[in-house]
Amino acid sequence: MHRTLPAAREPCSVRQSRCSKWAPFRAHANAVAPHVAPRGPVPTARRVTVAVAQPAAAPVAPTTAAASTSAAAQPHPTSGALPQPAEHAPALPTWTPPANRPGLYDQEGRLVLKALTLPELEAWCAAQGEAAPANRALQIWRWMYADPPAGSWVRSLEETMGRQNGFAAKFVEKVSPNVSLEGGLKLSQVVRAGDGTRKLVFTLVGGEAAGGSVETVLIPVVRQQGLRDRLTICVSSQVGCAMNCQFCYTGRMGLLGNLTTAQIVEQVVEARRFLAQEGDRTPLTNLVFMGMGEPLHNTEAVLAAADIVSHYLGLHISHNKITISTVGLVPEMRAVLARTRVQLALSLHATTDEVRDWIVPVNRRYDLATLTTALEEMFPKEEQEGQQQQQQAATGSLASADEAAAVAVSHETAAASAAAGSSGCSTQGPEPTDSGERWLPPVEQLGSEAPSCSSSSSASSSDGSESEKGSSKEGRSLLVEYTMLHGINDTLEDAHRLADMLRRVNCKVNLIVFNPHKGTRFQPSTDEDISAFRSALIQRGMVCTIRDSRGDDEMAACGQLGNVGLSFRPSPILEAPERFKEFLLSPTPAAPAKQAAAPAAV
């Protein structure tokens, strides 16, 4: 028979240690429920019976339960928080649409995602309850803008389903009815010029000018041997233009409406789709806002579009390769410099208020004195004695206009050297062409007295999109555009006035050959006058290039975009100063009928 031995008695010290572990919990229970009597010794069966029979003990049970619930919500005094009861899910963050940006919603009330920058898209994803809004926003962004295979410039979320990194059906079903990936325009026509320039004509399906059309130009830049060719895209920001520049075909239309951010961005997206379909692998590296419209008359949409296309995870066009051109809206120019890092170009076109009031009417609001003062503040130039000495030496070495004309580079040579973006200057002339067009020796062949090659190393490309950091405080320089009009603004006196006007402005001058169009009264300057004008500026120490006409045979060149037939009230033709009338052509017979419809327009 087995005998059960009694268990060894627990030492007093061990028992006290074990009991002391429960002391905090007893103190905590007493603190949260002081009205409950502390538990006494273990009762016998008789004492329990008596306690239950007492009427005063009856209400203790619910009170004790309430106290235990309250005690559970208090933090544990030694081991952290006690388990908490389930609560309601936290409220989703509120999404606030960007202010002052029209076109955020389409005609069906859906949010247009291409109108949002990446941070704005991330905020919207957070408001939709996404667990990782940054990742979700980047996924949408890449599908809209990235090159294949990372993205495919998709037009809807449904296109990604079933593909690698595509969207789940649950997400598409949740958000697809409320959002749109469309850009608000469709490619309707492609016009090809003889020099390889392609004009894309888009029909607008939404926005202020729905049913109208805008034009975008793809400009090929053929570079020197050893350098890869590239493409520049010239985008539009408005349908028509309200500035009424007298020599510009777009200005004749008047303003029919602003483009939305999505419609501006979609021009670049559609261009990439078109190049992919064509099998054209030439990189699209530069973007200029020099198409239809005044970009700074639609500032909010333009700056948001510039932010979107410059993102390195999307359309990846560097902000250094993006240029916004303006006729001189001074407050908006300051805003651009304060809010973005893109480059600025100024359409100047005249050196006197008399001429600029006529051909660029916005000069009546911001005259040349006001404009020049603002430029000196925004793009200050550091005066150096060495540069002044070089200017004086160069001025003395080229005394006559005939000698100056002999040293100017031909249009093809200037465009090729500028497009190359090289810091060195070639001294080799171009190969003879079948057309027999002459070429003139570069300035460097005259010897050391001529302006050095380094002074022109930062010249912009022929499309005005490349620019290097200059001597301004922010490292920016201004591109000054100057359209050469025969007998109007192309004299040597104009050249010297221009040099005086810009002597304290960190800038480069780009001379534009005027591109005639139907109904124009202006004539392009001669090659000799353009060369003399450029040489006069170089003598004064300025960097000056000549922009060749590209696509002018198919109305795709600078100043030729648009369709006056779309306008119900074309802008008026302004009266020319008497002394310039001899240089003007008589308008075509069809022009007066259109102009007579708007005698009161401004």
What pLDDT is recorded for position 371? 97
What pLDDT is recorded for position 441? 35
Model confidence band, residue 5 (pLDDT cutoffs 50, 70, 90)? low
Average pLDDT over residues 229-234: 94
Which residues are catalytically annotated? 215, 558
What pLDDT is recorded for position 94? 85
What pLDDT is recorded for position 589? 46
Average pLDDT over residues 132-151: 93
What pLDDT is recorded for position 383? 64
On the question of pLDDT at 557 being above 60, the answer is: yes
On the question of pLDDT at 96 being above 70, the answer is: yes
pLDDT digits 0-9 by tens, 367-423: 999 999 999 999 998 765 335 534 544 544 444 434 433 333 334 344 334 443 333
Supply the mean pLDDT for the chain: 77
On the question of pLDDT at 172 being above 90, the answer is: yes
On the question of pLDDT at 78 being above 90, the answer is: no
Give the relative orientation of helices 118-127 and 133-145 as an angle to the nearest 10 degrees: 130
User: CATH assignment of 185-424+439-591?
Assistant: 3.20.20.70
Radius of gyration of the chain, Cα coordinates, nearest whole angstrom = 37
Concatenating the DSSP letter of every residue in 222-240 gives: PPPTTS--EEEEE--SEEE
Q: How many residues does the chain have?
A: 602
What pLDDT is recorded for position 60? 46
Give the relative orientation of helices 299-309 and 261-278 as an angle to the nearest 10 degrees: 40
Model confidence band, residue 320 (pLDDT cutoffs 50, 70, 90)? very high
Q: Find the range with the poorest average confidence among 82-86, 283-287, 361-365, 572-576.
A: 82-86
Model confidence band, residue 13 (pLDDT cutoffs 50, 70, 90)? low
Q: Find the range with the poorest average confidence among 149-153, 540-544, 577-581.
A: 149-153
Give φ, ψ of 50 to 5 degrees.
Answer: -65, -40
pLDDT digits 0-9 by tens, 21-60: 556 555 555 554 455 555 555 544 444 444 444 444 444 4
Provide, rounded to the nearest whole percent, the portion of the chain with pLDDT above 90.
Answer: 54
What pLDDT is recorded for position 574? 94
pLDDT digits 0-9 by tens, 498-523: 999 999 999 999 999 999 988 899 99
What pLDDT is recorded for position 518? 86
List, in order, residues 6 or more apart from 278 with CB less than 8 Å away.
none
Q: Determine the Cα–Cα distance for residues 264 and 366; give it in Å rounded to an integer.
A: 27
Concatenating the DSSP letter of every residue in 550-574 gives: -SGGGT-STT--S-GGG-SSPPPPP
On the question of pLDDT at 455 being above 90, the answer is: no
How far CA 212 is from CA of 80, 96, 261, 334, 402, in Å, comes to 67, 31, 17, 31, 49
**Global model pTM greater than 0.85:** no
What pLDDT is recorded for position 275? 95
Average pLDDT over residues 177-205: 94
Model confidence band, residue 17 (pLDDT cutoffs 50, 70, 90)? low
β-strand 255-258 against 230-234: which pairing, if any? unpaired
Amino acid at the residue 127: A
What pLDDT is recorded for position 560? 82
